[in-house]
Amino acid sequence: MSEDKVTNGTANGTADGTTSPFKIPVVDFSAWNDSKDKEARLRVAQEIVDATKKVGFVYIINHALPESLLDEAFDWSRRFFALSLEEKMKAPHPEGWAVHRGYSWPGLEKVSQAMSEGDDEQRVKKLREIKDCKESYDIGSDENKEQPNQWIPDELLPGFRAFMTHFYWECFKVGGDIMRALALGVGLEDEEYILRKHSGHNNQLRLLHYPPIPAEALESQRIARMPAHTDWSSMTMLFQDDCGGLEVENPSKPGSFVSATPVKNAIVMNVGDLLQMWSNDHLRSTNHRVALPPLSDRFDGPNCMTRERYSIPYFLSPDPTSLIECIPACTSGQDPAKYKPITQADYNKMRASMQY
C-alpha cells in the first residue's frame, strides 16, 4: 500500500502539540486481475481491508475502468447539466422518497444522518432550513421495476441513455471485483459471499453538479453543498473532477475533516452502512461531506465564487430482500453480533424517507 502518492491534509494533534498526518491510503489494484498469483491477490485484499478498517476510505488506482471511459462519463454529465431546467425536468425525480431516480433540482434533496426512527419532526425541519446547493441525476438498472428510470427523451441528448447504461454495468464489474477482494480480506474463503446478494439491479449511478456559489454562503452555513453523512449502501465508488471539496472525517478525531484530494482516474472507494453492519463494525462507514474547495480553486472576484464541481458516485446496494446480518468471519464469542438482521429495503426506507 502506498500512502505517499496523495496529500490529503493533516489532522489530529499529538501529545507534544504537533500535528500527525491523517491520510487516505492508496491501493494499486492491478495485481488483483492476475488470477494465478494468489499471494498478490491476497495482498491487495488485505490492503483494502486494512484501509477500510482504519479510515473507511481508500483510493484505488490501476483498476479496469479505462481513462477514456471516465472522461466520456464526465463529458456526458456536463452536457446533461448544461441543458435548460425545462429540458432536465422532462425526467424529474418522482414525488416523495420511494423512487430515487431522475433529475433532482437544487434544494429538493437534503442529505443528513436523520432516520425515521428516533428523529423528531422538529429536528428534520431544522435540517431542511439549510438548502443543499447541488443538482443530480440518478440512474439504475432498467430491469428494476421498483425503481424505474426516468430518462430524458433521446432527442434531447442523443446517445446519453446508451452510454450511461453501458457505464452503469462497467462500474458494476469493477465494483464486483472490489467486493470479492473485501470478502477475501476479512477472512471469507468464498469470494462471492457478499457479492452474491448484489445482482447489480439495485445499484445507483448518480451524476452530481455543484453550481458556483459565493464562498461566504457556505462559510456562514446559509447554504450547504452536502453535509456530513455516511452512505447507506454496501459500498460506494466515487469519481471526481479536479475541483476538490470532498472531505473525510478523521475517525480518531470526530468533527475533524481532511480533504480527499482529487486523483486523476482513481476510484475513491468507501464502505457504506450495510457493509459495516455485515462486517460487525470491522469495516468502517465514515462520515464525509462536500464543502468549500481549496482556496486556490476558488474564483477571484468580489464575491469569491466557488468553482463548479462535478462528481460521479456509484452505489452498490444489495437486492431489496437481502438480509443484512453479521457474517461469520467477523463474529466470535468475544465479538458477538452488534446488529439485528434487517433487509436492505427496510434500511433504505429508514434513510430515504428523511431526504425528500
The grid cell for 65 is: 475502468
Please state the pTM of the whole predicted model.
0.87
- The tens digit of pLDDT for each residue in 56-93 reads 999 999 999 999 999 999 999 999 999 999 999 999 99
| Contact by Cβ (8 Å): 6, 12 | no
Q: Residue 107 has what pLDDT?
A: 66
Beta bridge partners of residue 102, listed in sequence order? 138
Q: Residue 3 has what pLDDT?
A: 42
Is residue 2 a part of any domain in this protein? no
Is residue 326 a part of any domain in this protein? yes
Is residue 4 a part of any domain in this protein? no
Is residue 157 a part of any domain in this protein? yes
Sign of the Cα pseudo-torsion (97, 101, 103, 109, in order): positive
Domain that holds residue 92: 10-352
Q: Residue 37 has what pLDDT?
A: 86
| Contact by Cβ (8 Å): 288, 228 | yes
Q: Residue 296 has what pLDDT?
A: 55
Is residue 1 a part of any domain in this protein? no
Q: Residue 134 has what pLDDT?
A: 86
| Number of CB atoms found within 10 A of residue 303's CB | 14
CATH number for position 237: 2.60.120.330
Q: Residue 152 has what pLDDT?
A: 97
CA angle, residues 191, 59, 40, in degrees to nearest 5: 45
The Cα-based distances of 243 to 166, 257, 261 in angstroms read 26, 17, 9
- Exposed/middle/buried for residue 49 (C-beta within 10 Å: 0-12, 13-18, 19+): buried
Is residue 3 a part of any domain in this protein? no
Distance CA 96, CA 355 (A): 9
Q: Residue 79 has what pLDDT?
A: 98
Q: Residue 10 has what pLDDT?
A: 44
| Contact by Cβ (8 Å): 20, 10 | yes
Phi, psi of 19 (to 5 degrees): -115, 125
Q: Residue 115 has what pLDDT?
A: 45
Is residue 313 a part of any domain in this protein? yes
Compute mean pLDDT per 10 residues along the chain, 356 residues long, and list them.
47 42 91 85 96 95 97 98 97 89 78 47 52 88 96 97 98 98 94 95 96 72 74 94 90 89 95 94 92 61 76 96 92 91 89 62
Number of domains in the chain: 1
Is residue 5 a part of any domain in this protein? no
